[in-house]
Structure 1
Amino acid sequence: MALGTAFTLLTASCISCSPFNVEETSSNMQILEPEPAENLIRVGFSQLGSESKWRRANSISIKDALTVDNGFFLQFNNARQTQENQIKAIRGFISQQVDYIAFCPVTEDGWDTVLREAKDADIPVIIVDRQVSADSSLYTTWIGENMRQEGENAGIWLSKKLEELGKSHDKINIIELLGTRGSSSQIGRSIGFDTVCDKHQNWVLLDRDDGDFTTAKGQEIMSGFLEKYDDIDVVVCQNDDMAIGAVQAMQDAGIDLYSDEKPIIISFDASRQGLEMVMQGIIDVDVECNPASGPQLSEVIHEMEQGNQVAKAYFMNEEVFTRDNASRFVDDRSY
């Protein structure tokens, strides 16, 4: 697949950035009515948080795309990882009668009521990155990544790698560090990887636990796995931040990360640091989750402004990185 561009959206606290016509609020502050933005498209955007390098890159991409030069007045809210804050922000956008609402949902469930409120107010809603379980008639379109395909890509790569190593029929013990439980990224990657795993009777899922997409939690969970199991063959981390934490835990446990005897490490996101670790041979494969949805969001809104019908879903282009190709992309990484 072709490599996509990167998202942009910054988080701040209730500061008006007049050069960019951006109103930014944090989750614990009331959303204030911004100064009038004549002839600009007013967009209210709720970002779920800033839990990872990927998320920060996603925020930057959104903000870079929805600029005054592109015809936008952006109100950005950081929800600090809670659905309650996102719902509060969306209701604030509705009360201000913005032209469009977009948000990255922290979880899949629990959005029906507020989405119906936006629909009743005739405000189009665009879901970005993760998906929601709500009735699709309650939002206009979704822009994001094919999380299930990412999980399948990781499983397919592992199958080929084991064949290459002559271990296709060996018992393979696998542990997984999951992302935020209930998020579409966690659900999709788990389903995708499990789809491939179920085809291999010799693959044994020893354990899986929530690492919440953070380095600290990833290190904590991996340390527990290493104390519990002494025969781990494969470590699947559902993002680079957790992989970095898992690697630290392995180092602390005395595992030689440059040895052929180390566990195979699979990660997702393909951040700069992740790709550097792929080039070093520490992470064996990094499945890209492209954060650059800002340009696509801008394009979709402009299409709607012209009265054109838009698709119900837009998938980002994504790549699979190993030592063979990571060096060609690492220098262009903004996150």
Structure 2
Amino acid sequence: MLRKLSSLILVGVAGLAMSGCSGGGGTDGAATGSSAGAGGGNDKIVMGFAQVGAESGWRTANTKSIQESAAQAGIELKFSDAQQKQENQIKAIRSYIQQKVDIIAFSPVVESGWDTVLKEAQRAKIPVILTDRAVDSPDKSLYKTFLGSDFVEEGRKAGQWLVDEYKDSKDPVNIVELQGTTGSAPANDRKAGFQEVIGADPKFKIAASQTGDFTRAKGKEVMEAFLKSTPKIDVLFAHNDDMGLGAIEAIEGAGKVPGKDIKIVTIDAVKDGMQALADGKINYIVECSPLLGPQLMDLSKKVLAGEQVEPRVVTEETTFTQEQAKQALPERKY
């Protein structure tokens, strides 16, 4: 009788241990995939992913890539949407630490203010991967790798197109700039890269520069203000397609022709942006691929297997003219 009772207690304890390792339901908006314990084993990788939000077509495609790639790789994904608020991301990361996930990945809303929560993950021996956006912490041991685009290079490519476009002109070129979210890595870096290239020629002047928060609605709103406050606008540089698309609405509303009266260069190459480029409303797009999911899952498996990974993994990207956009659109995945 005692032996039978002991066996029942052991089975009960083992069951509790297994339910704890599987992670259970997500909290703080975290969505949970299939249960790690459902197949009878605890070897399934559990990833906590804290996304910036759903502020653009690019971000929506990025989220889809991560979710689909996790499912294909057999990784259980706990997902949270921070709605572009750093405090929500920090809360989600702390929730993942409490749930004892195997690995944490996130795209930081802004560059600063992450050391405390990343040190908490480090103490819990949970590795962290940065995706799409970097942090400005001097302590590189707080994360295993950063997977994403070279935003400075994207800004340079946008600037180089402008320099080439106006190489035969001696007249001043008045530029307005729609920046991404204030304090974010892409906004800081794209601005720096763009300025680096155009700054070599004094005829290029940024007449106005303001954040449009990477959203179409804000891009339209800020462009409307630019059109009222800046008498002569030759070029719009938008840090992403969505802001550029919002700006096109404002330009057309003001009775001007986007792509002709005001030349437009943007970054991302999402389908709506590419269509506007093909239609001649945008003049040039620098690609920033959101399809980071497969690389993220591959890096996660390597990190958890104890393999060495590069501290910086750059995604391969290109640029598009109007004709190139027409050719690429039929096969565009996002």
For the superposition of Structure 1 and Structure 2, which TM-score range results when normalised by the shorter chain? Answer: 0.7 to 0.9
- Structure 2 residue runs of 5 or longer lacking an equivalent are 1-21
State the TM-score, normalized to the length of structure 1. 0.88
**Which structure is higher in helix share?**
2
Paired residue type of 1:323? Q
Counterpart of 1:324 in 2: which secondary structure? helix
Quote the Cα distance in structure 2 between the aligned partners of 1:162 and 1:24: 56
Work out whether residues 271 and 332 of structure 2, in 8 Å CA contact, stay in contact via their aligned partners in 1: yes
Quote the Cα distance in structure 2 between the aligned partners of 1:221 and 1:310: 41
Structure 1 position 51 matched with structure 2 position 55: yes
CA offset at residue 137 of structure 1? 1.2
Q: For residues 257-282 of structure 1, what are the alpha-carbon distances to aligned partners after superposition, in whole Å with 9 as ceiling and x for unaligned?
A: 36x4x111011110111111111111
Identity of aligned residues (%): 40
Structure 1 position 153 matched with structure 2 position 152: no
The residue correspondences of 1:274-285 to structure 2 (distance < 5 A) are 274-285=273-284
State the TM-score, normalized to the length of structure 2. 0.88
Q: Relative to structure 1, is the Cα distance of residues 25 and 153 closer, same or farther in structure 2, using a 3 angstrom cutoff?
A: farther
Counterpart of 1:291 in 2: which secondary structure? coil
Q: For residues 60-116 of structure 1, what are the alpha-carbon distances to aligned partners after superposition, in whole Å with 9 as ceiling and x for unaligned?
A: 01111111x422111111111111010010001111111100001100000000000
Paired residue type of 1:73? E
CA offset at residue 328 of structure 1? 2.2
Residue 311 of structure 2: aligned partner:
312
Q: For residues 142-190 of structure 1, what are the alpha-carbon distances to aligned partners after superposition, in whole Å with 9 as ceiling and x for unaligned?
A: 1001000000000011111112xx31x2211111011101000100100
The residue correspondences of 1:202-281 to structure 2 (distance < 5 A) are 202-257=203-258, 260=260, 262-281=261-280
Quote the Cα distance in structure 1 between the aligned partners of 2:250 and 2:82: 30
My pick for the range that moved more, 310-319 or 295-304, is 295-304
CA offset at residue 307 of structure 1? 2.4
Equivalent pairs, count: 308
Paired residue type of 1:117? E
Quote the Cα distance in structure 2 between the aligned partners of 1:245 and 1:189: 19
Residue 297 of structure 2: aligned partner:
298
Residue 127 of structure 1: aligned partner:
130
- Structure 1 residue runs of 5 or longer lacking an equivalent are 1-20
Q: Relative to structure 1, is the Cα distance of residues 190 and 280 closer, same or farther in structure 2, using a 3 angstrom cutoff?
A: same
Work out whether residues 177 and 211 of structure 1, in 8 Å CA contact, stay in contact via their aligned partners in 2: yes
Which protein has greater RCO, CA pairs closer than 8 Å, 6+ apart? 1
Quote the Cα distance in structure 1 between the aligned partners of 2:75 and 2:304: 12
In terms of Rg, which structure is larger?
A: 2
Paired residue type of 1:202? K
Structure 1 position 89 matched with structure 2 position 88: no
Residue 189 of structure 2: aligned partner:
188
Quote the Cα distance in structure 2 between the aligned partners of 1:153 and 1:281: 19
CA RMSD of the aligned region, Å? Answer: 2.0
